[in-house]
Structure 1
Amino acid sequence: MAATTATAAPVTSSAPAIRLPAVHLILSDAGCQPLIEQYGRTQTTDTARALLADLRARLLAARAEGGAASNEATHAAAGAAIDTGTGTATDIPALLAMLAERLQRSNRSNLRAVFNLTGTVLHTNLGRALLPDSAVQAVAEALRWPMNLEWDIDTGTRGDRDNLVEELLLELTGAEAATIVNNNAAAVLLMLNTLALGREVIVSRGELVEIGGAFRIPDVMTRAGAVLREVGSTNRTHLKDYAEAAGPQTALMMKVHCSNYEITGFTKSVELPELAPLAKSHQIDVAVDLGSGTLVDLEQYGLPHETTVRETIAAGADLVTFSGDKLLGGPQCGIIVGRKDLIVQIKKNPLKRALRVGKLTLAALEPVLALYRAPDLLPERLTTLKLLTRPAAAMRAQAAAIAAPLQAALGASYAVTAEAMTSQIGSGALPVDQLPSFGLVIRANGKASNALGRLEQRLRALPLPVIGRVAHDALWLDLRCLNDEQQEKFVAQLALLEQAGA
């Protein structure tokens, strides 16, 4: 029997033809001229073409799925007044509004200001330390003018960029010399590569730390060309462990600040005042990675004690590495201070040029260091310390002022309460210490699926994104890092939050 072939009926559609205005009609409209002046003709033209192509594709897809009725829904979603009877876009102002929104979005900076309401003051993902006004002004000046970065004005000859801040560092730490690189990991890498290439570095197993971004001391040692010699155990290391490991191949004994964690219970570690004499008896240098290096005793400001760089030098360290953008409260950089002969060697390493800092970092670092000459005024002038010592009463009053407008913006789906909470310093500094704080806690009313997740997303979508933390079935907004100027901006954009939830 011969096979029969079915013939498909021709597809007919009563949907109107799709007609969009030509690009030149949009560009020639008077309403487009401000966009051309702001973004340039080339970018505006390319974006207009892309917009029209997207609209055409959406309209074609809608017509294929359901004709004019589906087209009408697509028109509404697109926000352009396109006549569903003729398929012609007659409302060019609507298209211009879409074009303006696209241009604005594509030109928005990827690096944006946010509200840090996480409760972590030195938040690595949010840029760590905020600079004081004196540093901000110095950076702005360095952006506008040529600077004597490597030029000795007194002699009229080439200078050393480290000299711009070295005198201040020596004054504040008691060290003999100093050098600056782009972060503390670079400082550790450069130090090890210079002084321990192909030789052993003795480190307690309890100090082989990993911090954010999978930065591990053993990995850095390998990349630096040093040979790790582990001693002791995770929880207990004794002086005799260092003594037994010391030998002709030993370049350094190294202590590492235990960032982000603390070992408690049956523990023993060898402190620097005990280790330094042993190292010197074997003619071995001692290096200390302080991580979050502080230049003042934080206890005088009511904060937990953290070993200072000066204390570390005085206890016998030959070299100390630490960050500029953590407890110090300055720009991102790594600082190495210590014996002059060792610093001289480090500065001769070719890697130093690859890891050196530019004029903006030095412009910011110098005024921050200068603030430490007046420690009694530091809580008022150093932004990081100002945030860390902020009174809970100030945050409580702030929470009371914000709670009502936030509740009004969120509506009955959520409950906003002002509550006590705890902040943390962050970035590995004093990892187990908490700071009494105050803020707002948002809980979802009812059992709507992922209500807190949706709210957290809406907060992040605001012009100034709000970054909080979700924990214990609530969204927590810690107000420690929200100053008075930021509070006004926070409240001002709550109307947008209300519209987004409508």
Structure 2
Amino acid sequence: MNMKSFPIQDWLQQNTIINVSGTMTALGASMVPEEIRQCVDESLGRFVNMDALQAEASSTIAQSTGAEAGCVTASVASGICISLAATMTGADLGLVEDLPDTGKVSKNEVAILKGHVVNYGSNINQKIRLVGATPVEVGTVTVAEPYQLRHAITEKTCSALWVVSHHTVQSGLLSLPTFIKLCHEKDVPVIVDAASEYDLKIFIDMGADVVLYSGHKFLSGPTSGIVAGKTALIKAAYMHQSSGIGRAMKAGKESVVGAIAALQRWEKLDHRNLHEQEYKNLTQIWKGLSKIPGLCLEELPDPTGNPITRIKVSIDSTVSGLGIGELCKALYQGNPTIVVRDHHIDLGFFEIDPCNIKPGDPATVIRRFQELQSLLEDSTPESSRTGTLGPRRSDYDIKGIPMVNTGNV
């Protein structure tokens, strides 16, 4: 059969996106390299024993992460669910079948820093509740002290969840080593959501009991979640995926094979060369955008320590009154569609991420910005006073009394 006869082929070609946002699930996360696609394609034409395939995955995950064992699930969100469930039931199949009913479970509370209660597409506390557990938020959004974590842990605490993400509060909270130490003092296992992190060993080395990685972000595999950790917890988590609440989150052979191939490729990848090429692409974009009046550019490191440099783009309010959100929208609605990293447009900037830039993309990105230069030029600056006393988000009323711009309240 001729594959080109399927309408989906045309749809894909007509709806291609230039992704300078990063490894975002909403955009399909990453482009799967040919060598991984070949492994997945090989699996699609075969029958396999799924338990044996997951055992092979466990060996690969252990080698890549330094964990005792591992398994592959549908996504990191799924991994959160089956890992939390494992800390509630252990390998008791009766309790596995009971969840989310926790009537016979002795421990069902999960400690999580309030500054880690984020929305990454859905509220992370929902994943805790989904398996019948109760989230216990520690501290305040901006402050978490050791005594607050000790106070939150009780005889009903089954585990503690730590989230590594640019979405979390980045200061004022406990460090991960301190979090692990305090939890382990009370025999509470720690689960780390490291979905978007490059370093596959650091969290196990720190003492985390379970670590979760996305198989389809930086690893560039098909959609999957990689669960790495202590053997007993992995066995219990896999029981939930096979026979319990995680059955709805199971991974097919193509996802498991893809995750294994992605990990094996990661071990052989020339990371330094890859990052040099990413930065070369970023530098090309910087040079092009720096010639456009009204744009302010700054290089930023990744907030969680990944080996990524991004360009922060804002608009000089003394030159143009165009809102940064309007520029994002114009880039998205153009041809081709360009999606920027827009997490901080409420703070007046977006970012350009080089991770998923393809050959030819930098020139196209520059061209699209150049085509939108008239938007910047035609938008009158909000106030002639702006910038005379340095960057501010305020003005003066007719009596000369300071007043804050309403958009910043």
What whole-Å deviation, never above 9, does each CA across 1:203-262 have from its counterpart, x for those lacking one?
24434422232x223222112101222333333323333333333322113323244143
What whole-Å deviation, never above 9, does each CA across 1:38-97 have from its counterpart, x for those lacking one?
989xxxxxxxxxxxxxxxxxxxxxxxxxxxxxxxxxxxxxxxxxxxxxxxxxxxxxxxxx
- Does residue 243 of structure 2 align to residue 243 of structure 1? no
Q: Any conservation in 1 of the 2:282–2:362 contact (CA below 8 Å)?
A: no
Whole-angstrom CA distance in 1 between matches of 2:351 and 2:141:
37
- Does residue 68 of structure 2 align to residue 176 of structure 1? yes
- Does residue 176 of structure 2 align to residue 285 of structure 1? no
Identity score, percent: 16
Partner of 2:109: 201
Partner of 2:24: 123
Bigger Rg, which one: 1
Partner of 1:217: 124
Secondary structure in 2 matching 1:212: coil
Closer/same/farther in 2, CA of residues 388 and 486 from structure 1, 3 Å limit: closer
Whole-angstrom CA distance in 2 between matches of 1:479 and 1:248:
44
Closer/same/farther in 2, CA of residues 340 and 233 from structure 1, 3 Å limit: same
Secondary structure in 2 matching 1:195: helix
Counterparts of residues 322-471 of structure 1 (less than 5 Å): 322-349=213-240, 350-374=244-268, 377-380=270-273, 385=275, 388-390=278-280, 392-395=282-285, 421-422=297-298, 430=304, 435-437=309-311, 460=333, 462=335, 464-467=336-339
Task: Tell me the CA shift for residue 107 of structure 1.
Answer: 6.5
Task: Tell me the CA shift for residue 313 of structure 1.
Answer: 1.4
- Does residue 39 of structure 2 align to residue 138 of structure 1? yes
Task: Tell me the CA shift for residue 346 of structure 1.
Answer: 1.2
Letter in 2 for 1:291: A
Q: Any conservation in 2 of the 1:292–1:328 contact (CA below 8 Å)?
A: no
- Does residue 237 of structure 2 align to residue 316 of structure 1? no
Whole-angstrom CA distance in 1 between matches of 2:14 and 2:250:
23
Whole-angstrom CA distance in 2 between matches of 1:140 and 1:386:
30
Partner of 2:406: none
Letter in 1 for 2:76: N
Secondary structure in 1 matching 2:234: helix
Q: TM-score, normalised by structure 2?
A: 0.65
Closer/same/farther in 2, CA of residues 212 and 387 from structure 1, 3 Å limit: farther
Closer/same/farther in 2, CA of residues 393 and 256 from structure 1, 3 Å limit: closer
Closer/same/farther in 2, CA of residues 354 and 487 from structure 1, 3 Å limit: same
Whole-angstrom CA distance in 2 between matches of 1:182 and 1:453:
36
| Number of residue pairs matched by the alignment | 343
Specify every segment of 5 or more residues in structure 2 that has no aligned partner in the other structure, as ranges: 89-101, 373-409
Whole-angstrom CA distance in 1 between matches of 2:24 and 2:281:
20
Task: Tell me the CA shift for residue 430 of structure 1.
Answer: 3.2
Q: Any conservation in 2 of the 1:399–1:418 contact (CA below 8 Å)?
A: no
Closer/same/farther in 2, CA of residues 177 and 446 from structure 1, 3 Å limit: closer
Whole-angstrom CA distance in 2 between matches of 1:251 and 1:263:
26
Whole-angstrom CA distance in 1 between matches of 2:48 and 2:179:
39
Secondary structure in 2 matching 1:260: coil
Letter in 2 for 1:211: N
Whole-angstrom CA distance in 1 between matches of 2:85 and 2:24:
29
Partner of 2:176: 271
What whole-Å deviation, never above 9, does each CA across 1:83-123 have from its counterpart, x for those lacking one?
xxxxxxxxxxxxxxxxxxxxx89973598322224xx2223
Whole-angstrom CA distance in 2 between matches of 1:252 and 1:105:
44
Specify every segment of 5 or more residues in structure 1 that has no aligned partner in the other structure, as ranges: 1-37, 41-103, 152-158, 296-308, 404-415, 498-502
Q: TM-score, normalised by structure 1?
A: 0.55
